[in-house]
Chains A and B, each alone.
Chain A
Amino acid sequence: MNETIAKEHLSEEQIDQDLLKNVNWGGKFKLWMGFLTVSLIICLYYYYQQLQNGLGVTGLHDYVSWGIYISNFVFFVATSLIGMLVSSVLGMMKVDWVRPVSRIAELVAVAFAMVAGLIIITDMGRPDRLLNVFIHGRVQSPIVWDIAVVVTYVAISALLLYIPMLPDIALCRDKLNNVPKWQQKMYQRLSLGWNNTAKQFRLMNRYTRMLLILIIPIALSIHTVTSWLFAMTLRSGWDSPIFGPYFVSGAFVAGCAAVIIAMYFFRSNYKLKDYITSDHFDRMGKLLVLVALVYVYFNINEIIVPGYKANTADAKHVHEMLYGHDSVMFWLVQLGGLVIPFLLILFRPMRKPLPLTIIAVIILAGAWFKRVLIVVPTQLAPYYPIQNVPEAWSGYSPTTPEIAITIASFILVLMIITVLAKLFPVVPIWEVKEEMNHNNNK
């Protein structure tokens, strides 16, 4: 039984019709966008407050200067990494079943990577001085490396979304006559005069392959460098040589979960049951098990190695995690957000679309709090004791503006994905057809 490639019963016209159906500006979309816009405006009001009064409106202070903004940034970068795993690694290994979901993975990657850069700006007390990072940045600083790779990754992900979409844009141009004029013009421009010639396909495949190869080191370095923002400092809990692979493996877990959620959403809302099948969920579930296993392995290393040696600062950090101040969140995240979900997905019924999506939501929430656990507790245990400062500085709790601005970043991601998924087909039509023809000719 392999449902992912069993589409012989569909005609090409049927496929076009099914997959282009979502490209419209229906009432549901307007309602959803309206809701997102209103929520975003409310959140932006809080950002206005932060701009006016500075970072004082947040719970950040001299000791915890990286709070949920930076945790959220790490989470966003992590989630965006899935584009590389699905479309590049699996794509180049000719794993055919990922083709219908690879665009969804790219959408998730582009949206999260774009907003990740913005989150950094919200963490700045003086965003008007942003340019100074470029003018006066030191090549030795991991922050400069991070900016370089984040910008590059956004560009490369956008290209990787766009170039393989050319035949589908051309299809939109040819078949969609009832869309607004500007949209038709946009398809006209973006399709680059595509008319399915062999040479065009050859060029497209060449550029796509170049990008697929290029994105692997870039994606690995984007998250490795993000981990180095922490690991390059001498702080217990961050001072770890395995932070790079630890972050990358964690990123795949978060990304897989995000893609599963997006898959479920598109499948049920766009009625794509024939294209994104329950078999896709089954396989994504298995992929999630694999990456979660790797992540669990790194988590064990991260705790047991410093915990066994127990030098003063590390022992304190591990203690806080296992039984101390952060233990509730730690065990909720590790057991509830990682180990138990991953054990559940081992059973076939749990890899059905709905249960898997629910588990993915839990894993994604766990992944977010996991980033908070990585970022915040270390700063509350500096080598010099916290003393002669206001009482509140010995802890950290995010304020309303901080939470609202963080929610705004999620709203932005949803908006980007929504708009892109309304402008373009979310399942690559030409690839589905190609695959079907290929199977029919066998």
Chain B
Amino acid sequence: MKNNKRYKLIILFCLCFLAVANVNAQSDWQVPAKDNENLSPFLFDDDMILEGRVAYENSCTSCHGTPGQDDFTPMSPPPGDPAAEQFQAQSDGSLFYKIKMGRASMPKFEDAFADDELWNIVAYIRSFNENYKQQLPNMEGVEIPVYAMKLSFDQNVDKLVVKVLAEELPQAEVSVSAYVMGTFGKHLLGKAQTNELGIAYVDVDPALPGDAEGKVNVLVKATKEFARAKVQQDLAIAMPTEIHSAIEGRHIWSTDRMAPIWLKITFFVSVFGVWFALLFIVFGLRNIKRAREES
């Protein structure tokens, strides 16, 4: 009986230990060594920081708050402030990996952002660290191909066709991401990899609204390792939009000429009606004068 009690105590201890160990393991986010050492191929400049800021404010602020303000959402584990020391102590590669892959309540942004956009966010986070000095990869002996892209649209299957070439040769396994440029930012159309013919297909929603001719401004990025290229072009891939002027037609807010008919009738009939009655009375005053003559 006594033994039994001791066993129970040991089991309880073990369970407690396991639980604590598990929690510890969770708070310690292991990044693969290769990814941890990963470096940004771009120099973090103001443009990158600005783009990163927009992306951060759209996607990160709700949990991490405004960097430097310590106003992140209280959660378990706490998301933390990106300007805090604990955040900044990590390598660029680690930040990049964590944003890209996510874990538990931290979403995975792999599908939302292309690699260069993820680096924009890292650049933005680093902009809060005065002591930060960007470490650049050793590019010695690395030859970076110069990509050229050809865009076309396959109407039959509603697909954007992207052909990636380097020195006239098709490039396979290049990551291609296509965006539609809007007034307030870009909207991801889709991502794909080029096949051995250097061609990638990106689905296009046929209901996408375009301009009067159905054109939208498309941005396509191609990346593979250090090689990258960008092309921006107007393509007739969307639904033509008929634009109506807000003051077209008869509305309360239209021009005077296009005032609602009921209003015009009501207004003029009542104004002229009343003035007609007044003029009737004014002219009738002559009758008063005449009434004297008669007497």
Contact = CB atoms under 8 A, between A and B. Distances in A.
Interface of A: 136-140, 145, 148, 152, 155-156, 159, 163, 166, 192-195, 197, 199-200, 203-204, 207, 210-211, 214, 218
A138 B292 contact: no
Nearest to A206: B284
Given A136-B256, A140-B253, A199-B295, A207 B284 contact: yes
A203 B288 contact: yes
B287 A152 contact: no
Nearest to A221: B270
Contact of A203 (B274, B275, B284): B284
Interface in B263-295: 263-264, 267-268, 271, 274-275, 277-278, 281-282, 284-285, 287-289, 291-295
B255 interface: yes
Contacts of A197: 291-292, 294-295
Contacts of B289: 192-193
B288 A192 contact: yes
Contacts of A156: 274, 278
B256 A139 contact: yes
A80 B179 CA distance: 65
Contacts of A163: 281, 285
Contact of B287 (A138, A203, A211): A203
A192 B289 CA distance: 5
B295 A138 contact: no
B23 interface: no
Interface of B: 252-256, 259-260, 263-264, 267-268, 271, 274-275, 277-278, 281-282, 284-285, 287-289, 291-295
Contacts of B267: 139, 145, 148
B40 to A, nearest CB: 37
A199 B294 contact: yes
Main SS at interface, chain A? helix
Contacts of B288: 166, 192-194, 200, 203-204
Contacts of B252: 140
A145 B252 CA distance: 14
B170 to A, nearest CB: 54
11 contacts: A138-B256, A140-B254, A145-B267, A152-B271, A152-B274, A152-B275, A192-B289, A197-B291, A199-B294, A203-B291, A210-B281
Given A166-B288, A192-B285, A199-B294, A138 B275 contact: no
Given A193-B293, A200-B288, 8 more contacts: A139-B256, A148-B271, A152-B271, A152-B274, A152-B278, A156-B274, A192-B292, A193-B289
Contacts of A155: 275, 278
Contacts of B284: 203, 207
Contacts of B263: 139-140
Nearest to B295: A197
Nearest to A214: B277
B260 A140 contact: yes
A218 to B, nearest CB: 6
| Among all A-B residue pairs, the 10 with the closest Cβ atoms | A199-B291, A193-B292, A138-B256, A139-B259, A197-B295, A192-B289, A200-B291, A193-B289, A207-B281, A192-B288
Contacts of A194: 288, 292
Given A140-B263, A145-B267, A152-B271, A159 B278 contact: yes
Contact of B264 (A139, A148, A152): A139
Most-contacted residue by chain A among B252, B260, B292 (CB, 10 A): B292
A218 B282 contact: no
Contacts of A214: 274, 277-278
B278 A195 contact: no
Most-contacted residue by chain B among A145, A159, A203 (CB, 10 A): A203
A39 to B, nearest CB: 34
Most-contacted residue by chain B among A155, A192, A204 (CB, 10 A): A192
B267 to A, nearest CB: 5
Given A139-B267, A140-B252, A148-B267, A210 B291 contact: no
A149 to B, nearest CB: 8
B277 A210 contact: yes
Given A192-B285, A207-B284, A138 B291 contact: no
Contacts of A139: 256, 259, 263-264, 267-268
A139 B271 CA distance: 12
A166 B256 CA distance: 43
A153 to B, nearest CB: 10
Contacts of B253: 140
Given A140-B260, A194-B292, A211 B274 contact: no
A159 B282 contact: yes
B134 to A, nearest CB: 35
Most-contacted residue by chain A among B263, B278, B291 (CB, 10 A): B291
Contacts of A138: 255-256, 259
A199 B284 CA distance: 13
Nearest to B260: A140
